[in-house]
Amino acid sequence: MSSTANKSLLDVATQKLVESQVWRSIFRHGYPDTPLNQSLVMMGNVFLHLHPVKVSRQAMKVTYSWCLGGISFFLFLLLTVTGVFLMFYYIPSTDVAYQNITQLSSAVSFGNLVRNMHRWAAHLMVVSVTLHMIRVFYHGAYKPPREFNWVVGVGLFFVTLFLSFTGYLLPWDQIAIWAITVGTNLAPYTPLLGDTAYKILVGGGAVAQPTLIRFYVAHVILLPLAAALLMAVHFWRIRKDGGEAGPPPPARRELEAGVERPMVGVTR
């Protein structure tokens, strides 16, 4: 068989495939070689639709964002997976919590590894979220239209800190009890609420069993849910605000630098 015949057979097979109902039910647009089809590919794909259709080339460089938001998200996923592992062994009771943690580190396969992965990822997440916030500030990416996403980010920053704070109590060792005693002693100074804020946080007059269960529920349910929700809004807004904020276009740069342009119809 000649190569032309082979090619035409392939062409026919390809044609049949792309015209089949199965193919067309999945791919609802043509080959992405035109701006319209490129936009349709982005909007019609469940994974790609999180990205804007067009992005600034400069903002795509790793050295622009340092992927700090992406690293924070990766650490959040790692913390969720390792946290679920820890939940199989940990009981939030003041009688057994400390023992659980020591047994986990010495008697459970990979227990020490997973516990340390969870601990280190938590520290790193606080660092990466803080650096991400500084990077966004440095690039002025908090300015319109991204000001709402900055506010969502501030929410994420506090949720990250609270996750770290609540997790710190769970091993119920001396350093944890006293660190949380010091930390929660700030609560009575809350404007208007005062002592009520302390009682809500601690669940009584001092750090004890009710505190442990409150911090546990906040650490494994409330705060991760709040973080996941805020992240969903954060990522959606990045897309809606046109992707990452690149450097301003040359015309605006000139304006900001005070370069004067000749004004038509004006005599000096």
Q: Residues in the site for ligand HEM, rule: CB under 6 A?
A: 65, 67-70, 72-73, 76, 129, 132-133, 136, 139, 141-142, 146, 149-150, 153-154, 156-157, 160, 231, 234, 238, 244-245
Minimum CB distance to ligand HEM smaller for 40 or for 233:
233
Round the CA-based radius of gyration of the chain to a whole number and report it. 27
Residue that the structure tokens 């809606």 belong to: 240
Shortest separation between residue 167's beta carbon and ligand HEM, angstroms = 15
Burial class of residue 189 in the structure, from the number of CB atoms within 10 Å of its CB (0-12 exposed, 13-18 middle, 19+ buried): exposed
CA separation for the pair 98, 118 (Å, rounded): 17
Q: If DSSP codes are grouped into helix, strand and coil, which group holds residue 183?
A: helix
Residue closer to ligand HEM by CB (options 205, 247) is 247
Closest-CA residue to 58 (of 242, 239, 235, 245): 245
Count the neighbouring beta carbons within 10 Å of the beta carbon of residue 211.
Answer: 20
CA dihedral 149, 150, 152, 155 (to 10 degrees): 170
Smallest distance from ligand HEM to CB 265, Å: 38
Shortest distance, CB of residue 109 to ligand HEM, whole angstroms? 31
Phi, psi values for residue 122, rounded to 5°: -65, -45
Indicate the residue among 98 and 235 with the shorter CB distance to ligand HEM: 235
Complex with ligand HEM: residue 115 or 146, whichever CB lies closer: 146
What is the nearest approach in angstroms of ligand HEM to the Cβ of residue 168? Answer: 18
Runs of H (alpha helix) within the chain: 3-19, 21-26, 35-44, 62-65, 68-87, 97-107, 111-138, 147-169, 174-184, 195-202, 209-217, 223-240, 250-256
* Closest to ligand HEM by CB, 24 or 240: 240
CB 41 within 8 A of CB 48: yes
Least distance from ligand HEM to the Cβ atom of residue 129, Å? 5
Could you tell me the smallest distance in angstroms from the CB atom of residue 63 to ligand HEM? 12
Question: Which is closer to ligand HEM, CB of 214 or CB of 234?
Answer: 234
Q: Which is nearer to ligand HEM, 214 or 244 (CB)?
A: 244
Question: Rounded to whole angstroms, how far apart are CA atoms 16 and 5?
Answer: 16
**From the CB of 38, what's the least distance to ligand HEM, in Å?**
21
> Distance between CA atoms of 58 and 29, rounded to whole angstroms?
29
